[in-house]
Amino acid sequence: MMGGSSGILWMGLFVLVLWSSSHGSVEGEEYMKYKDPIIPVSVRVKDLLSRMSLEEKIGQMVQIDRSVATPAVMKEYYIGSVLSGGGSTPLPQASAADWVNMVNDFQKGSLSTRLGIPMIYGIDAVHGHNNVFNATIFPHNIGLGATRDPELLRRIGDATALEVRATGIPYVFAPCIAVCRDPRWGRCYESYSEDPKIVQEMTDIILGLQGEIPNGSQKGVPYIGGKDKVAACAKHFVGDGGTTKGINENNTLIDTHGLLSIHMPAYYDSIIKGVSTVMISYSSWNGKKMHANREMITDFLKDKLKFKGFVISDWEGIDRITTPPHSNYTYSVEASILAGIDMESVMIPWKYTEFIDDLTYLVKNKFIPMNRIDDAVERILLVKFTLGLFENPLADLSLVNEVGKQEHRNLAREAVRKTLVLLKNGKSETDPLIPLTKKVPKILVAGSHADNLGYQCGGWTINWQGFSGNNYTRGTTILAAINSTVDKDTKVVYLENPDSQFVKSNNFNYAIVVVGEPPYTETAGDGQNLTMLDPGPSAINNVCGFIKCVVVIISGRPIVIEPYMSSIDALVAAWLPGTEGQGVTDVLFGDYEFTGKLPRTWFRTVDQLPINFGDSHYDPLFPFGFGLTTHQSIVSRSTSSGFLGRPRSYTSMIFIFVLIGLYFQGKLLTGELRY
């Protein structure tokens, strides 16, 4: 039996051996703090940074498109991030498992590097997981702004995060918190409202995407609450919704007070809510490109607002610092990095070696100081550690059934109901058309958007510019929703553009005309006329001129409608509702009330643009915040018999007459009404 002191010595040596083995590394006996999940993230970041070469640091600052990524490229160039641009998928109609396998293949390349730093995969999930076949497509932001419901936004963020994580992806380029001040802008539907207060409230989607930030958390520090959450991205910093004439990527002419009071407030909220990344805008502020604006990115966003996450460029955003783009690329790299951009979504997706070579040259020749590189890499590593990528770099298949699941579709359907804005209901207040009656002999459905899922979803859906038709993802068109909602004995007739003679000769009880804009994204959506897609006007004229009709507008913004108002009985702004068309019929047929309010001003003519609430000469067709409601007391019309829901019995008619009599008696007694 060994002595007491000898036993203690051997026990100490035994503990030391155990500690060494548990903290060992690929570099012999050295303990690597950055690999220890118990160590504070800030310490892990500093430790890893101290071990990295310039080549490894610059690699972390690069984001490339999946189309040029391979495990070998990830390993050779130490690539820090990969993304899917709009429509960039592993294969057509790829399953969640296909996505997981692709992401993991790239990740294995990153993990095989000397330090094993995981890459971060990003994707546009701007209204649900919109690149992915069968995913739930939620309404675009303009519709969500009509809900005035931040709690709904949290739930949408939560569902979107689950569907994104189900495909092995931990990072989304959302939300867009632009304040669109001119509907001629092709990205206006990506903006929640013309009102910065509403946009601020809608940043609660970040709490759904990333998780509720704990009480006492340091402001400005990214927070991601587990393996079912994703890193979010507030974009596009800053002023992208205020460009002259709404021209995409153009110049925002506004003084500092205007920029800070209109376009900046949602960034304050996003940072307080722990947003992980901020994407820079293509646009300029008073002539200076945002991608080269050190005063706004470094001095304001990082230093004044204390944002600690990383700043990412937009797709090839640094190329566009010069005119023409890419005409002096070395200068653009220098200007953007010195301005404070940390990850060049270089997006030079197909030119990553040029970026790496130029940045290496600029650092080695002291045009860019090493502390600027270290700042960028620290921020990128902070987000990666916060995401848990070092502990769980590879995705599994445990969440694949989250994509497009019914619970999420039900949530999207609820969101659609709340986005709808009732602009007109009957040619007089005493003769409302909505709620529509479910049980009538025959209904006409017309319009280019009634049976087109792609039009219903808009841009940023499956493909960058969206699609037309019903074959590219799963969902319910408005026509299908009508067919499943009306009484089984009601005949529904659909013609995209019926002629007036057909309408007059078929004894329809009423018509639903669904018209609007085609899908578009970014510059392709810029427009000066804002008219509906043909044959929308003729469909309205041919139908609404002869029978009672409700017109449903599917659009990413207000469009020209005033010339048709006199013939329209009821008018609904449905924005871009996404895959769940039954949310539209839920409200049209009175199962739920209209609650949506206009998130932006509806102009009379395009000559008024830009027009926003508070302007000195404010004379809109429908003002900001406008929205009629329907009352639950008349929902019974949706199931009653007869033309447009006459009362079921004489009892209800007597009740109505009694109320009218009491009303006039009260007027007589108070002297307000005289013979």
**Rounded Cα–Cα distance for residues 426 and 363 (Å):** 68
Beta bridge partner(s), residue 622: 602
Contact 297, 339 (CB under 8 A): yes
Return the structure tokens found at 42.
């800030």
- Pseudo-torsion of CA 451, 457, 458, 461, nearest 10°? -120
CB 541 within 8 A of CB 561: no
Report the alpha-carbon distance of residue 163 to residue 631 in Å, rounded: 36
Distances (CA, A) of 10 to 15, 18, 356: 9, 12, 53
Q: What b/e readout covers 288-301, taking b as 16+ CB neighbours within 10 angstroms?
A: ebbbbbbebbbebb
- How many other C-beta atoms are found inside a 10 Å radius of the C-beta of residue 225? 16
Please give the structure tokens belonging to residue 498.
Answer: 């019926």
- Tell me which H or E stretch contains 554: strand 549-554
Give the active site residue among 149, 204, 522, 569. Answer: 522
Q: Among candidates 140, 92, 101, which has minimal Cα distance to 461?
A: 140
522 noted as active-site residue = yes
Dig out the tokens for 69 from the structure.
């990524």
Burial (CB < 10 A; 0-12, 13-18, 19+), residue 16, is exposed
User: Strand 288-289 to strand 284-285: parallel, antiparallel, or no bridges (unpaired)?
Assistant: antiparallel
Q: Which residues pair with 306 in a beta bridge?
A: none
Q: Is 429 a catalytic residue?
A: no
Q: Which of 46, 70, 74, 40 is nearest to 60 (CA)?
A: 74
CA angle 352, 353, 358 (to 5 degrees): 100
- Token pair for 554: 């599917």
Contacts of 629 (CB under 8 A, 6+ apart): 422, 593, 594, 595
| Options 56, 149, 182, 314, the catalytic residue | 314
Q: How far is CA 648 from CA 45, 638, 640, in A?
A: 72, 11, 6
Cα(492)–Cα(187) distance, rounded to whole angstroms?
A: 35
Q: Which residues belong to the active site?
A: 314, 522
